[in-house]
């Protein structure tokens, strides 16, 4: 029996839909591991607008020294921008 073009298209769409759904399903335990990283601010739920930002340390772009957020307190404002401008 020769498959019709419509049957081939239907099978192709079904396979594509199944693969798309499989990609969206999180792996078991992935969310728990992501929330347990050291310094993960997503676990802090008691922050409110106007509160002091949580302190953290990061390496500079060059990687030669660490910078701590608290070291900027009382100096010029620090603006953290997250996003893409491309």
Q: What is the pLDDT of residue 81?
A: 80
- pTM for the model stands at 0.36
Q: What is the pLDDT of residue 3?
A: 74
In a domain, 58, yes or no: yes
Q: How many CB atoms lie within 10 A of CB 69?
A: 15
14, 6 Cβ separation under 8 angstroms: no
Confidence tier at 76 by pLDDT (50, 70, 90)? confident
In a domain, 22, yes or no: no
18, 11 Cβ separation under 8 angstroms: no
In a domain, 81, yes or no: yes
- For the chain, what is the domain count? 1
In a domain, 33, yes or no: no
The tens digit of pLDDT for each residue in 24-74 reads: 766 666 555 544 555 565 665 677 888 888 888 999 889 899 989 888 888
Q: Residue 76 sits in which domain range?
A: 53-86
């Amino acid at each position: 029996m020769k498959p019709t073009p419509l049957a081939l298209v239907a099978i192709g769409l079904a396979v594509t839909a199944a693969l798309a759904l499989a990609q969206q399903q999180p792996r078991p335990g992935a969310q728990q591991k992501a929330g347990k990283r050291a310094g993960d601010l997503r676990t802090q739920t008691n922050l409110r607008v106007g509160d002091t930002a949580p302190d953290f340390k990061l390496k500079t772009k060059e990687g030669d020294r660490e910078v701590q957020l608290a070291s900027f307190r009382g100096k010029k404002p620090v603006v953290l921008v997250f996003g893409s401008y491309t």
